[in-house]
Amino acid sequence: MEVNAGRRTARLEGRVGDLVSEGSSRARVWHLGRLAVALGLAGTTLMAVTGPRLVGGSATWWYSIHVPPGRAGNMTGFYLGVVALCAAWLALGRRIARTPEVRTGEVVAVAAIWILPLVLGPALFSGDMYSYLAQGTILHLGLDPYRDAPDVLRHVGRTHVLDAVSPFWRGTTAPYGPLFLGLVSGVVGLTGSNLVAGVVAVRLLEVAGLALLAVFVPRLARGFGADPSRAAWIALMSPLALAQLVAAGHNDALMAGLMVAGVALALEQRPLAGVALCALAATVKVPAAAAIVFIAVARARTLDSRAARVRLVASVGALGAAVAAAVSVFTGTGLRWVSGAVLATPAKVHLAITPVTALAWTVSRVLGGVGVVVDYAGLDRVLGYVAIAATVAVAVDRIVRTREERLVLDLGTALCVAALLGPAAWPWYFSWGIVLLAAWPGFQRSRLPPLVLAASVLLVKPDGIVAVPLQASPATLACYVAAGALAVASWRRRSPGARRAGTARRAEAAPAGS
């Protein structure tokens, strides 16, 4: 009895010692966490405070703080904020990787803290939100944003909205889906002629998309055996997400949130609900329609008979079309948005950060240097067709290979390739695939994505102008080649046995019925 009591006492003392040690360790972890959280908040606050004097344009924000000695002071403060944000984000990522105690809710809470200054701040890194408001105003006035460009506002007494739109886009009709334009039309009805209130309200639509990501990206990660906290860290609070989805207010956040929610529901044995959400996402921005195809194919592979597969595909197609038609009727746009014009708008810009454009510019200059005259515009157009063919080939390959146990990998890869090889590789386009890949174990383990996501915030200036001129195209190509080589080397370091073991673990961790 005394021996047993002594053993129990020893075990109790040991447990108490473990708890004390664990508590001390957690205290140290939280101390380091508070420093990173404070640094990130300081970064986004600096960006929001210094931003109004850097964005240009006719629209003025509700505050404008002058940092001595002038614009240079604001610019210095702004990029100090950017550096602080990137450093804090990378530090939190390191902490999440090393500390199992970190919970997904903590990551989401930190993301909300960092986001708040940007929600109340000016439109940074892009003026697209003013184009959104112009197109929403056109719809609100009973005009057709798919036929009437923002220039029409000059004739209906809304010049203050038109003046805020970049001159480059004033003659361009809307490239977005009817659900998004209908929501912005409602925003215009609430905020009237107040551009500041309109920008904040539109940004709240994108925050709603991030809220969906906060719920469903961790769920996807758990289903694929990945770390849900790290998935939230990548999808919600990366410099790309905070700069381009929150500060810039791009509608890709709302599209991505609806799409990821749809994919998650489809993998949780609710395929039709998932398809309906993905169809809604496509009425925000068309690329989300790819998710419907992947869901249909992956789900069909789980069925035994050909007749069942045909019924499923027919049901998916009918449901997707019905949702798109219902949104079109409800918003009053009709089906005019289903046209090539919606996809053609990105081709109007030529960016050095777009691989096709960078390659065309570099080749034309190199050949010109040796006396061979090559038309840059013609070469860019030809290479664009080649890129479209390559994108289709990759998409078809991913569709043929896809299964429910690897759906996020295949769909995320296809969307990232579409962003990379498209006519304009704007950084925020890559969020389409990254929010899905964030839930994939292999993507989480790679060291390259965090570095790329942190560097992406430097590609576009606060006023929305690309920071890389066409003359830097050779350097751009070199960066792409280096990144590709690093990605291939990282993949090859994993032995075939390790890859097979990883696939088996993911299959075991996949949602029931997948």
Instruction: Read off the pLDDT of each residue in 454-473 and give the average, rounded to a whole number.
Output: 93
Identify the band that residue 99 occupies on the pLDDT scale cut at 50, 70 and 90: confident
Band (pLDDT 50/70/90 cuts) for residue 12 is very low
Residue 158 lies in a domain: no
Angle at 250 (CA atoms; ends 248, 125), nearest 5 degrees: 25
Measured distance between the N- and C-terminal CA atoms of the chain, rounded to whole angstroms: 54
Residues 230 and 93: beta-carbon distance below 8 Å: yes
Question: Is the pLDDT assigned to residue 19 strictly greater than 70?
Answer: no
- Cβ distance 140 to 331 under 8 Å? no
Mean pLDDT, residues 200-213 taken together = 96
Calculate the alpha carbon distances from 13 to 1, 7, 22 in Å. 18, 10, 14
In a domain, 290, yes or no: yes
**Residue 253: predicted pLDDT:** 97
Instruction: Using pLDDT thresholds of 50, 70 and 90, give the confidence band for residue 442.
Output: very high
pLDDT of residue 509: 43
Interval 484-489 mean pLDDT: 81
In a domain, 19, yes or no: no
3-class state of residue 23 by DSSP: helix
- Euclidean distance between CA atoms 219 and 67, whole angstroms: 44
Asked which of 52-66, 127-141, 243-257 is least confident by mean pLDDT, the reply is: 52-66
494-512: per-residue pLDDT in tens?
A: 544 444 444 444 444 444 4
Residue 18 pLDDT level (bands cut at 50, 70, 90) = very low
- pLDDT at residue 111 in the model: 95
Comparing CA positions, the residue from 461, 455, 469 lying closest to residue 83 is 455
Residue 493, domain extent: 25-127+197-509
Residue 466, beta-bridge partner list: 460
Question: Averaged over 431-453, what is the pLDDT?
Answer: 94
HSE, side-chain direction, 13 A CA sphere, residue 1: 0
Q: What is the mean pLDDT of residues 163-183?
A: 93
Specify the higher pLDDT residue, 162 or 369.
Answer: 162
The mean pLDDT of 235-257, rounded to a whole number, is 96
**Within 10 A of 62 (CB to CB), how many other CB atoms are there?**
13
Q: Is 163 part of any domain?
A: no
Listed ranges 153-157, 200-204, 375-379; the one with the highest mean pLDDT? 200-204
Look at residue 244 and tell me whether its pLDDT is greater than 70.
yes
In the predicted model, is pLDDT for residue 348 greater than 70? yes
Q: How many helices (H) and strands (E) does the chain have?
A: 22, 0
Q: Where do runs of H (alpha helix) occur along 51-194?
A: 71-98, 104-120, 128-140, 159-164, 178-191
Look up residue 167 and give its two tokens: 């001159």
Closest-CA residue to 97 (of 226, 240, 211, 236): 226
Q: Is residue 505 assigned to a domain?
A: yes
Judge contact between 221 and 260, C-beta under 8 A: no
Residue 185 domain-assigned (yes or no):
no
Amino acid 459: pLDDT:
95
The secondary structure of 304-347, three-state, reads CCHHHHHHHHHHHHHHHHHHHHHHHHHHCCCCCCCCHHHHHHHH
Quote the number of domains for the chain: 1
- What average pLDDT does range 168-172 have in this prediction? 91
Does any domain span residue 66?
A: yes
CB neighbourhood size of 122 (10 A) = 26
Q: How many CB atoms lie within 10 A of CB 186?
A: 16
What is the pLDDT, as a whole number, of residue 262?
A: 97
How far is it, in rounded angstroms, from Cα 249 to Cα 428? 10
pLDDT-derived band of residue 2, with 50, 70 and 90 as boundaries? very low
Helix (H/G/I), strand (E/B), else coil: 364: helix
> What pLDDT score was predicted for residue 372?
83
Higher pLDDT residue, 180 or 56? Answer: 180
For residue 49, give both structure tokens: 């405070």
Residue 343: pLDDT band by 50, 70, 90 thresholds?
low
pLDDT band with cut points at 50, 70 and 90 for residue 101: confident
pLDDT of res. 432: 96
Residue 384 confidence (pLDDT): 92
How would residue 341 be classed by pLDDT, with cut points 50, 70 and 90?
Answer: low
Task: For residue 111, give the nearest of 169, 44, 163, 173 by alpha carbon.
Answer: 44
Query: What pLDDT does residue 10 have?
Result: 40
Residue 250: inside a domain: yes
Global pTM reads 0.88
Mean pLDDT, range 299-307, rounded to an integer = 92
**Whether pLDDT at 339 is above 80:** no
- Give the per-residue pLDDT at 337: 82
- Nearest Cα to Cα of residue 133 among 211, 189, 171, 56: 189
Give the chain's mean pLDDT.
87
Tens of pLDDT, residues 393-414: 999 999 999 999 999 999 999 9
Euclidean distance between CA atoms 163 and 357, whole angstroms: 30
pLDDT at 472 over 80: yes
Q: Confirm if 341 and 175 have CB atoms less than 8 A apart.
A: yes
Q: Tell me: the pLDDT tens digits for 54-85?
A: 998 788 899 989 889 888 999 999 999 999 99
Q: Is residue 87 predicted with pLDDT exceeding 90?
A: yes
- The share of the chain scoring above pLDDT 90, in percent, equals 71
Q: What is the pLDDT of residue 501?
A: 42
pLDDT value at 16 more than 80 = no
Sorted by sequence, the CB contacts under 8 Å of residue 384 that are 6+ apart come out as 347, 356, 423
Q: Which DSSP state fits 65?
A: P
* 127 φ, ψ (degrees, to nearest 5): -105, 20
- Mean pLDDT, residues 489-498 taken together: 59
Average pLDDT over residues 173-197: 94
Mean per-residue pLDDT, 437-455: 93
What's the rounded Cα separation, in Å, for the pair 370 and 134? 48
Helix pair 289-300, 271-282: axis angle to 10 deg = 160
